[in-house]
Amino acid sequence: MTRRRGIMSDRLKYELADELGFSHKVKDGDWGNITTREAGSLVRAAIERAEKQMSEQESRRR
């Protein structure tokens, strides 16, 4: 099984980390410093953002 890379841009990851309050842990580019809970929060926030964008796009098509 191949591993998918590049699903989420670095810019988005840093933006979400800032919004979630742990950007200070990843400023040096080391994402190994975040907790599992923080990683989960990052993924949830990214999914919510993607769902919102998809919903907005769908609304524009109508």
Does any domain span residue 48? yes
Q: What integer pLDDT is reported at residue 3 of this predicted model? A: 60
Gap between the Cα atoms of 4 and 24, Å rounded: 26
What is the domain count for the chain? 1
Domain span holding position 15: 10-21+34-61
Does 51 fall in a domain?
yes
Q: Would you say the pTM of this structure is higher than 0.85?
A: no
The pLDDT profile of the chain, 62 residues, written as one tens digit per residue, is 566 666 889 999 999 999 999 999 999 999 999 999 999 999 999 999 999 999 998 888 87
Indicate whether 1 belongs to any domain.
Answer: no
Buried b (16+ CB within 10 A) or exposed e, 9-47: eeeebeebbeeeebeeebeeeeeeebeeebeebbeebbe
Is position 42 within any domain?
Answer: yes
